Amino acid sequence: MWIGIAGAAGNALPAFASQSETFTIDSNSEHSLSLSGVQEHDVYQEVLVPRTCSRQVFGHYETVCHTVSHRVCHNDRRGHRICRESPRRECHQVARYYTEFYDCSYTTTVKVGTETDYYVNASINVKVTAPEGAVPHETLRASIDRHSGTVDFSAARTSGEFLVFVKESAETQVNGKQKSVQVQAEVTLVPTAGIRKAFRTGISSVDFKSGVLSFEMPTHVFSKEVQLSLTVKRQRTLWFSKKLFSGQISASALEVAEGTETSRYTLDLAKLGMKEALKNEKNYKLQIKLEPSHSALSGCLNRHDLGEEGSTELNLKKQKI
């Protein structure tokens, strides 16, 4: 493999040192590069920040009056009780306040600089494995993390034709302020064509009958990078539901009627060990999703190149299960 690299080895931070470098993978082989940088930590300090505060201060009392009515009754000569509403003016004292502004301050923590912990020199050996006959063109970046002093890899520019996995091991030696890091990095390229096609095709022709779910997916869709997940919910109301099952479906749990491009898969839901069996006259929602395997894609630098996941939903509205 040929890898184009602009790297530099040296002592503690020479003028041409670089904390990060990009390199391009073109074919199978291995190459070496060197990085120099610093491991540092941020320095913070508590400072007083001036500001204007306000408070309510008593000013004076004010007389406030209003008219109220009360019921006045008396007996007339015939002994009949006669009542009427009689207005009366009532007054009381109300405290009045005004807003007073004054200078104040608050304490906050701000970054005031950085302090160097170590001068780091990293020697990196990169070994790349790609499918036979493949012509990759993937640009990666190796960087010294300024907080930990370790070497990290990221995808700078990828073709979308391969998933790029990086597995690294490192040995570190410290001498005073000098830190030397020896990194062995294994880069593995996995073609994305089949996975992207599976996501693009997705899941179709979904059917549910007698407790058996059936659907179509691309043939040979299962790989360690792809997983099938299923969620089953019972819809209690429009907004509330109860989750009966949520998990991955292994290839061994499915029966397959294999075709050239797509295959028909069937799954007996009774074998899933759900919290409760599906019942007649209930509303259910089933979501089937074809998605990247989270565990298998650990260490992948360009998962976004897979595109959108394929998923579909099936609503069962009070039908015979």
Task: Indicate whether 234 belongs to any domain.
Answer: yes
Cα 203 → chain centroid: 25
Neighbouring CB atoms inside 10 A of 177's CB total 13
Which residue, 107, 127, 156, sits at the end of a domain?
A: 107
Give yes or no for residue 310 having a pLDDT over 70: no
In this structure, the answer to whether residues 307 and 216 fall within a common structural domain is yes
Which residue, 191, 206, 233, sits at the end of a domain?
A: 191
Task: Please say whether the beta carbons of 144 and 19 come within 8 A.
Answer: yes
In this structure, the answer to whether residues 25 and 166 fall within a common structural domain is yes
DSSP 203: -
Flag whether the pTM goes above 0.95. no
In this structure, the answer to whether residues 124 and 147 fall within a common structural domain is yes
Give yes or no for residue 5 having a pLDDT over 50: no
Task: Indicate whether 113 belongs to any domain.
Answer: no
Task: Indicate whether 112 belongs to any domain.
Answer: no
Task: Indicate whether 26 belongs to any domain.
Answer: yes
Domains: count for the chain = 3
Neighbouring CB atoms inside 10 A of 208's CB total 19
Whole-number average pLDDT of the chain: 83
In this structure, the answer to whether residues 186 and 197 fall within a common structural domain is no
pLDDT for 168-215, tens place per residue? 999 999 999 999 999 999 999 988 888 887 777 778 888 888 778 888
Q: How far apart are CA 227 and CA 307, in angstroms?
A: 15
Q: Hey, is 170 helix, strand or coil? A: strand
In this structure, the answer to whether residues 66 and 174 fall within a common structural domain is no
Neighbouring CB atoms inside 10 A of 301's CB total 20
As a 3-state breakdown, the chain gives helix, strand, coil percent values, each rounded to 5, of 5, 65, 30
Q: In what order do the strands lie in the sheet with 310-317?
A: 241-249, 226-235, 283-292, 310-317
The band of 26, judged by pLDDT with boundaries at 50, 70 and 90, is: confident
Q: How far is CA 285 from CA 208, 223, 280, in A?
A: 11, 27, 14
In this structure, the answer to whether residues 201 and 263 fall within a common structural domain is yes
In this structure, the answer to whether residues 224 and 130 fall within a common structural domain is no
In this structure, the answer to whether residues 310 and 244 fall within a common structural domain is yes
In this structure, the answer to whether residues 125 and 32 fall within a common structural domain is yes
**What domain range is 233 assigned to?**
193-317
Task: Indicate whether 304 belongs to any domain.
Answer: yes
Task: Indicate whether 183 belongs to any domain.
Answer: yes
Q: What residues are paired with 190 via a beta bridge?
A: 163
> What pLDDT was estimated at residue 4?
38
Which residue, 142, 175, 191, sits at the end of a domain?
A: 191
In this structure, the answer to whether residues 231 and 176 fall within a common structural domain is no
In this structure, the answer to whether residues 74 and 157 fall within a common structural domain is no
Which domain CATH number covers 302? 2.60.40.10
Task: Indicate whether 230 belongs to any domain.
Answer: yes
Give yes or no for residue 13 having a pLDDT over 80: no
Task: Please say whether the beta carbons of 307 and 199 come within 8 A.
Answer: yes
In this structure, the answer to whether residues 208 and 82 fall within a common structural domain is no
Task: Indicate whether 114 belongs to any domain.
Answer: no
pLDDT for 208-236, tens place per residue? 887 788 888 887 777 777 888 888 888 77
> What pLDDT was estimated at residue 43?
96
